[in-house]
Amino acid sequence: MTDDLRAETVQVSGHDGDQIEAYLAQPLGAGPFGAVVVIHHLPGYDEASLEITRRFAAHGYLAICPNLYSRDAPGASPAEAAAIVRAAGGVPDDRLVGDVDSAAHYVRSLPSSNAKVGVIGFCSGGRHAFLAACRLPLDAAVDCYGAFIVNPPPAESPLKTRAVVGLAGDLSCPLLGLFGVEDRNPSPAETATLAGVLTEHGKSFEFHTMADAGHAFFAVDRPNYRPEAANKGWPLIWDFFGRYLA
């Protein structure tokens, strides 16, 4: 771990060539370093997401967090942008994949890159991480309590996302899943279903379900934060990316 890092806002060419903002954090030094695309949660491209991005840089990774809401609410606060995107049904899947692909290309092009890229997402970002890993050539993926992978949102939800478990056969890389036993989206039954599907397809994965934790247990700025579960989860992430992104 190092305190020597640089963090800045950059522009990347996202899906369909749209210019979107992204937060780039990188350790100082020649490297080579593996890279991580951080996919922010539904509450948006917020302070907590940028802090997580810096955390990856402090642990020796090139890290980039694309602002998935750049087009929808330029200049809005994270909360305002999230409300606009939620009301519109969420981030379209193809656009998400295109933005993650562009972010991955950006960090691969950096002189200090070792050309390996992983992806991690929290909440809606967990589903997005799984989706991206099924649609893009990646080296590792981490799904932190991603909802609506196995089951779609309820009919009354404004989100128009669909279940993506049917893409499991196309998973391009090993997958780490971190879940809470008290979570309802995804529930332990849903994560068990996903594990069964991945096993049927012969995919490399490992799932961990944390006791006394529900949804968003990593979120330090939210009531759902569970320090014990988070402190168990982070070492699993470092070990996993250390194996596949070195």
Residue 146: give its domain's CATH number. Answer: 3.40.50.1820
**Does 2 have pLDDT greater than 90?**
no
Return the closest-CA partner of residue 171 out of 207, 128, 135, 125.
Answer: 135
Q: Where are the beta strands (DSSP E) in 123-211?
A: 140-144, 175-180, 205-210
- Distance, in Å, from the CA atom of 213 to the CA atom of 149, rounded to the nearest integer, reads 20
CA dist list (Å): 153 to 10, 61, 161, 163, 185: 33, 34, 7, 8, 9
Mean pLDDT throughout 110-130?
Answer: 98
The predicted pLDDT at position 30 comes to 87
Q: Domain range spanning residue 149? A: 5-244
- Per-residue model confidence as pLDDT tens digits over 63-96: 999 999 999 988 899 999 999 999 999 999 999 9
Helix axes 124-135, 93-108, angle to 10 degrees: 70
**Type and span of the H or E element at 195:** helix 188-200
Going by pLDDT thresholds of 50, 70 and 90, the confidence category of residue 109 is very high
Cα(9)–Cα(218) distance, rounded to whole angstroms?
Answer: 24
Split into its structural domains, the chain has a count of: 1
Q: In the structure, what pLDDT confidence band is assigned to residue 3 with cuts at 50, 70 and 90?
A: confident
How many residues can be counted in the chain? Answer: 246
